[in-house]
């Protein structure tokens, strides 16, 4: 299924001549990152052993309000490991929102299970609990709650459905570090949860991820599977088919330094969202908001234009001004590998075709934000003159 303006978006995405002076994201590595990495190099502990791994895991668990955390090499691996840990496999179904990054659906497919897509709520953009309930079958083994762009899902509703049908609740928190639902950090509600620390995440390790849980058995299973299935009490004896999903000490060192500044990063991103909302209030765009008793961490600050046909011309206009943006994720049910069975998820499709991620890194200056806002104003001013 194509979306309006597909051709122009593809050209924009692959235009190697575009030079951005305001990127959509960049990490802030001005804390203790260099000092900790140099300690790794000096000690020669650069691989999957070293003090920073356990320290990062422990500090992360404390920050997220969970009991156990297992560091892994990226966020997609974290999702796959979470599903493997739960024993999900061929013949099983896992319910997942269509409007999400493709890794959520792919991680389900890696296990041999089937992703079952649901629509989104038009206000929060999160998976629709009513549609989740409709999609539960005897083959359902799990519900994957993806906290899209940093806004929490309705965890009361999803927890109730999972409990009622005795299925697992998995949280994909890749985009939601720092997000809270009714005061609790996301990732602390489900049976197991996954985080990502890619270079454009709120805290980064370059590449990295984390699996968290409050269940000791799941923690031990996750740790077992991530290290090639190595038996606990016998050298080089492997008792399950495991994976090499380990986090390096260098990545953990960067992560620990990032975690030390987590509150600062989240506060800056929330302030940035507030400024965008105030300065775009007089334009025909809708800034992704905060609904209910939640704390939106605004991994990506996003807007919706009124008409899908406006989305790519606005992005092209911003690109000409040196401002990088991204389209919202394409709904997974429209991807070729998942589109064999025709489906419609109208809210997910509508949000995706109209959505833009604006520059969202916490180090953006007020002048840069004003330049972005000015360019958006200029686009609609020009559009009004030619209408």
Which residues, including other chains, have CB under 8 Å from residue 5's CB and lie 6 or more apart? 308, 309, 311, 312, 313, 353
pLDDT greater than 60 at residue 261? yes
pLDDT greater than 60 at residue 17? no
pLDDT tens-digit map of 180-215: 999 999 999 999 999 999 999 999 999 999 999 999
Query: What Rg value do the Cα atoms of the chain yield, rounded?
Result: 21
- How confident is the model over 328-342, as a mean pLDDT? 95
pLDDT tens-digit map of 22-65: 999 999 999 999 999 999 999 999 999 999 999 999 999 999 99
Name which CATH class applies to 6-28+262-386. alpha beta
Q: Is 157 left (phi over 0), alpha (psi -120 to 50) or beta?
A: alpha
Beta strands in the chain (DSSP E): 68-72, 93-97, 114-118, 140-146, 168-172, 180-181, 184-185, 192-196, 209-213, 285-287, 294-295, 301-305, 326-327, 355-358
**What pLDDT band is residue 232 in, cutting at 50, 70 and 90?**
confident
Instruction: Give the lowest-confidence range in 138-147, 230-239, 297-306, 346-355.
Output: 230-239
pLDDT tens-digit map of 57-105: 999 999 999 999 999 999 999 999 999 999 999 999 999 999 999 999 9
Q: Which of 50, 56, 79, 95 is nearest to 222 (CA)?
A: 79
Higher pLDDT pick, 374 / 9: 374
pLDDT greater than 70 at residue 10? no
Which sequence spans correspond to the domains of the chain?
6-28+262-386, 33-259
Cβ atoms of 204 and 27 within 8 Å: the answer is: yes
Share of the chain above pLDDT 90, in %: 92
Tell me what pLDDT residue 19 has: 81
Q: Options 2.60.15.10, 3.40.640.10, 3.30.565.10, 3.40.50.1970; which CATH number does 33-259 get?
A: 3.40.640.10
**What pLDDT band is residue 5 in, cutting at 50, 70 and 90?**
very low
Tell me what pLDDT residue 148 has: 98
Share of the chain above pLDDT 70, in %: 95
pLDDT tens-digit map of 281-311: 999 999 999 999 999 999 999 999 999 999 9
Tell me what pLDDT residue 18 has: 65
């Amino acid at each position: 299924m194509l979306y309006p303006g597909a051709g122009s978006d593809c050209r924009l995405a692959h235009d190697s001549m575009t030079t951005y002076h305001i990127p959509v994201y960049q990490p802030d590595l001005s804390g203790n990152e260099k000092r900790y990495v140099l300690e790794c190099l000096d000690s020669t502990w650069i691989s999957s052993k070293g003090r920073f791994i356990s320290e990062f895991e422990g500090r992360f668990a404390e920050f997220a309000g969970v009991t156990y955390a297992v560091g892994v090499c990226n966020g997609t691996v974290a999702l796959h490991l979470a599903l493997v840990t739960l024993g999900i496999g061929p013949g099983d179904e896992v319910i997942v929102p269509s409007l999400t990054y493709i890794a959520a659906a792919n991680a389900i497919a890696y296990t041999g299970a089937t992703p079952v897509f649901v629509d989104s709520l038009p206000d929060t953009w999160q998976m629709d609990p009513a549609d989740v309930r409709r999609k539960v079958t005897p083959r359902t083994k799990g519900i994957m709650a993806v906290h899209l762009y940093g806004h929490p899902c309705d965890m009361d509703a999803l927890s109730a459905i999972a409990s009622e049908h005795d299925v697992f609740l998995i949280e994909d928190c890749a985009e939601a570090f720092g997000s809270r639902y009714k005061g609790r950090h996301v990732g602390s509600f489900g049976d197991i949860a996954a985080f990502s620390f890619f270079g454009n995440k709120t805290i980064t390790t370059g590449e990295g991820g984390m699996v968290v849980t409050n269940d000791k058995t799941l923690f031990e299973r996750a740790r077992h599977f991530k290290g090639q299935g190595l038996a606990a009490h016998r050298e080089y004896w492997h008792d399950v088919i495991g994976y090499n999903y380990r986090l390096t000490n260098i990545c953990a060192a960067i992560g620990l330094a990032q975690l030390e500044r987590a509150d600062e990063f989240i506060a800056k991103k929330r302030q940035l969202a507030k400024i965008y909302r105030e300065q775009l209030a007089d334009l025909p765009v809708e800034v992704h908001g905060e609904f209910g008793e939640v704390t939106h961490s605004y991994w990506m600050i996003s807007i919706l234009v009124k008409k899908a046909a406006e989305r790519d011309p606005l992005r092209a206009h911003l690109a000409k001004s040196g401002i990088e943006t991204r389209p919202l994720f394409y709904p997974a049910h429209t991807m070729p590998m998942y589109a064999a069975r025709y489906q419609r998820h109208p809210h997910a499709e509508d949000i995706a075709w109209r959505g833009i991620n604006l520059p969202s890194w916490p180090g953006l200056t007020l002048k840069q934000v004003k330049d972005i806002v000015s360019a958006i104003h200029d686009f609609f001013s020009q559009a009004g003159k030619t209408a």
